């Protein structure tokens, strides 16, 4: 089987920063039809190549960048790429995805994945120019911001080169640090800290190669159907019109817009920070990542002080807005700017600020401990002061930038409202008002996450009653498998508001020529890939006890008004049913028979040693 004729480059680029060695290996050919690429490839490599108990910030951790068989073609959003590693924030398997223009450049340079191990002694950058791959010193980039580093690299290498860089929080191995391709980020879980621990400041790439698909005629037909499905979707149209923030108002109406550190599910100033309001007052130009027909990105008009960002998108508006009781668009833009400029995850930064504001409200933390900052709810100045401390990693910012879970270990009284799962700050859908989403937060292999199969359709497309737990484990199981297939093909999830798994399957089958007779084969592949991630976590001791939610969600009825008022999450019955559907035991461990069914017998043998 020649994988080069099936959408792949059949090359994994390997870099050992300790030894300074660079080499390539072929893809695991026999496994590719089982895992496809992207998330599947990342999970496979991490599980099979990394020893148990690896220190996330030690040289032995793997930092695996990956694209998929469709990457670099004209499939909708085929510039998407991801990273897989062990997260310092969660201690779990961790994958993050990003649009922008870096992913397809790695593919054109001739690589399906890049595996970085080891650690350099001083800052370095990895320079990939098709077949020529070198490590260059990056001492003079030390401490630079995302845009400063990116500009410098463009000047050195040329404007067609694409870069991934980390900012100061990444260099100093903070849990809220992401990895940035200009305005787009692999943001969550401290993946920037892992890159920082390796002293790898930047990865620049330039490629001139091409991607060949297996059956071009079938692929062209699949492209036609996929694009048509995307164009004929009112949800996609809304994404273009009002960005991801188009859902803010409906989430508020559904009582699921987390407000004041998840104390409530409705925000009085929701209208002020909606997509409609940003469109009317702040956005002036649409932006699309490579290969994207949607263009959910928005460039803002400059603020009075000249601040311009690409965004803010929905999650950032929640985290830096309603979660901190901030209803001022300009403040949100400013806070978002700090995150983009210095390389931090907006959800985690907003989670920390909201958490600190509530601790301050309850007298659990004082201004003295926060370098004199008094974080009152909704106060722009203190929020900006806190985010600046984190961005520059100074004063209280040093420990704040470690995230909510780490802060909470120092303040036990704040534990019940430390809004994270497995160490990852919670995203923008209040679990008490969306029970399927609550289950997804609890189960997700990377901690509280809305992008690992959370059935958000229960909130914004009426897929089911969001307040009921009936049928939610099955609903979550289906969306989880779908999402994992999507991430393994390495497309953005947003074309999925027009395309379904069926159109994705037609693309994947034509591009790879693998034996996938039915669309459901791809769903099965998704379940297999999620299970690989679960197996990694089980190996590291993450079982049922970690599949849980904060006390605020489990025990405290939601305050305020809206459909979610008075609601808590009855998690255990959903966990039981979900484990049963997945063929896991009561402790959340996949049983051998199920792994056999999923074609993972070899993994079983490997894990048995």
Q: Which of residues 378-407 bind another protein (CB under 8 A)?
A: none
Residue 187 binds to another protein (criterion: CB under 8 A): no
Report the nearest approach of another protein to the CB of residue 568 (Å).
18
Nearest one of 171, 176, 179 to 190, comparing CA atoms: 176
Phi, psi of 445 (to 5 degrees): -65, -10
Mask for 21-60, x = binds another protein (CB under 8 A) = ----------------------------------------
Residue 14 binds to another protein (criterion: CB under 8 A): no
Stretch in the footprint of another protein (CB under 8 A) among 83-91, 400-408, 504-512, 596-604: 504-512
Residue 458 binds to another protein (criterion: CB under 8 A): yes
Stretch in the footprint of another protein (CB under 8 A) among 118-126, 293-301, 393-401, 408-416: 293-301
Mask for 139-178, x = binds another protein (CB under 8 A) = --------------------x-------------------
Residue 504 binds to another protein (criterion: CB under 8 A): yes
Residue 69 binds to another protein (criterion: CB under 8 A): no
Q: Which of 135, 303, 463, 565 binds another protein (CB under 8 A)?
A: 463
Instruction: Give, in degrees to the nearest 5, the angle at Cα 214 between 208 and 220.
Output: 85
Burial of 210 (0-12, 13-18, 19+ CB in 10 A): exposed
Report the nearest approach of another protein to the CB of residue 502 (Å).
5
Report the nearest approach of another protein to the CB of residue 505 (Å).
8
Mask for 512-541, x = binds another protein (CB under 8 A) = ------xxx-xx------------------
Asked whether 75 and 226 are in contact (CB, 8 A), the reply is yes
Q: Which of 36, 195, 229, 484 binds another protein (CB under 8 A)?
A: 229
Instruction: Give, in degrees to the nearest 5, the angle at Cα 480 between 476 and 483.
Output: 140
Report the nearest approach of another protein to the CB of residue 45 (Å).
25
Nearest one of 456, 424, 275 to 348, comparing CA atoms: 424
Would you list the DSSP string of 347-388? HHHHHHHHHHHHHHHTTSS-GGGGTT----TT-HHHHHHHHH
Residues 411, 416: Cα–Cα separation, whole Å: 10
Residue 247 binds to another protein (criterion: CB under 8 A): yes
Stretch in the footprint of another protein (CB under 8 A) among 31-39, 89-97, 187-195, 231-239: 231-239
* End-to-end alpha carbon distance in the chain: 29
Stretch in the footprint of another protein (CB under 8 A) among 193-201, 250-258, 329-337, 340-348: 250-258
Residues 570, 554: Cα–Cα separation, whole Å: 7
Report the DSSP pairing between strands 63-66 and 162-165.
Answer: unpaired
Residue 505 binds to another protein (criterion: CB under 8 A): yes
Residues 479, 272: Cα–Cα separation, whole Å: 32
Q: Which of 57, 288, 364, 398 binds another protein (CB under 8 A)?
A: 288
82 or 207: CB nearest another protein: 207
Residue 287 binds to another protein (criterion: CB under 8 A): yes
Burial of 472 (0-12, 13-18, 19+ CB in 10 A): buried
Stretch in the footprint of another protein (CB under 8 A) among 15-23, 121-129, 451-459, 596-604: 451-459
Phi, psi of 289 (to 5 degrees): -75, 175
154 or 544: CB nearest another protein: 154
**Alpha carbon distances (Å) from 517 to 223, 505, 521, 522:** 18, 9, 7, 9
Alpha helices in 255-301 (DSSP H): 275-281
The half-sphere exposure of 575 on its side-chain side, counting CA atoms within 13 A, is 20
Q: Which of 262, 267, 360, 460 binds another protein (CB under 8 A)?
A: 460
Stretch in the footprint of another protein (CB under 8 A) among 339-347, 446-454, 477-485, 588-596: 477-485
**Site residues (CB under 8 A) for another protein, limited to 544-563:** 563
Residue 475 binds to another protein (criterion: CB under 8 A): yes
């Amino acid at each position: 089987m020649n994988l080069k004729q099936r959408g792949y480059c059949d090359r994994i680029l390997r870099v050992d920063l300790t030894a300074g060695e660079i080499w390539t290996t072929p893809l695991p050919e026999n496994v590719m039809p089982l895992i496809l690429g992207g998330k599947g490839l990342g999970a496979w490599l991490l599980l099979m190549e990394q020893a148990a108990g690896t220190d996330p910030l030690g040289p032995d951790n793997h930092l695996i960048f990956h694209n998929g068989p469709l990457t670099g073609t004209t499939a909708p959003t085929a510039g998407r790429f991801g990273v897989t590693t062990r997260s310092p924030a969660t201690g779990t398997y961790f994958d993050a995805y990003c649009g922008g223009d870096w992913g397809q450049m790695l593919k054109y340079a001739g690589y399906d994945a890049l595996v970085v191990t080891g650690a350099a002694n001083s800052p370095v950058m990895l320079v990939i120019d098709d077949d020529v791959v070198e490590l260059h010193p990056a001492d003079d980039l030390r401490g630079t911001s995302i845009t400063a580093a990116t500009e410098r690299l463009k000047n050195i290498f040329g404007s067609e080169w694409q870069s991934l860089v980390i900012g100061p929080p990444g260099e100093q191995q903070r849990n809220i640090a992401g990895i940035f391709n200009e305005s787009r980020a692999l943001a969550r879980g401290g993946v920037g800290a892992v890159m920082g621990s390796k002293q790898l400041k930047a990865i620049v790439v330039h490629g001139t190669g091409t991607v060949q698909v297996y059956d071009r005629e079938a692929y062209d037909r699949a492209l036609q159907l996929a694009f048509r499905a995307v164009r004929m979707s009112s949800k996609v149209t809304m994404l273009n019109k009002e960005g991801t923030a188009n859902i803010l108002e409906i989430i508020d109406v559904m009582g699921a817009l987390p407000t004041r550190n998840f104390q409530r599910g409705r925000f009085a100033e929701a209208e002020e920070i909606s997509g409609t309001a940003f469109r009317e007052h702040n956005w002036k130009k649409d932006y699309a990542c490579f290969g994207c027909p949607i263009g959910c990105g928005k460039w803002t008009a400059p603020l009075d002080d000249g601040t311009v960002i690409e965004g803010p998108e929905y999650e950032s508006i929640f985290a830096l807005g309603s979660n901190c009781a901030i209803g001022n668009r300009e403040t949100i833009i400013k806070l978002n700017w700090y995150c983009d400029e210095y390389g931090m995850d907006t959800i985690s930064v907003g989670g920390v600020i909201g958490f600190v504001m509530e601790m301050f409200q309850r007298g659990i933390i004082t201004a003295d401990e926060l370098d004199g900052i008094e974080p009152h709810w909704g106060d722009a100045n203190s929020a900006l002061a806190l985010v600046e401390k984190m961005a520059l990693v100074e004063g209280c910012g040093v420990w704040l930038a470690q995230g909510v879970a780490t802060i909470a270990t120092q303040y036990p009284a704040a534990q019940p409202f430390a809004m994270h799962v497995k160490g990852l700050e919670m995203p923008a859908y209040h679990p008490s008002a969306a029970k399927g989403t609550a289950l997804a937060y609890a189960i997700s292999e990377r901690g509280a996450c809305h992008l690992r199969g959370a059935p958000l359709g229960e909130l914004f497309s009426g897929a089911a009653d969001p307040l009921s737990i009936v049928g939610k484990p099955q609903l979550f199981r289906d969306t989880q498998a779908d999402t994992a297939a999507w991430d393994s093909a390495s497309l953005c999830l947003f074309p999925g508001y027009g395309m379904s798994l069926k159109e994705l399957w037609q693309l994947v089958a034509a591009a790879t020529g693998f034996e996938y007779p039915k669309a459901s084969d791809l769903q099965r592949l998704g379940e297999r890939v999620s299970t690989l991630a679960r197996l990694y976590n089980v190996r590291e001791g993450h079982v049922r006890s970690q599949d849980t939610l904060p006390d605020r969600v489990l025990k405290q009825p939601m305050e305020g008004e809206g459909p979610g008022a008075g609601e808590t999450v009855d998690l255990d019955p959903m966990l039981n049913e979900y484990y049963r559907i997945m063929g896991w035991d009561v402790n959340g461990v996949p049983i051998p028979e199920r792994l056999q069914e999923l074609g993972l017998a070899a993994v079983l043998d490997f894990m048995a040693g």
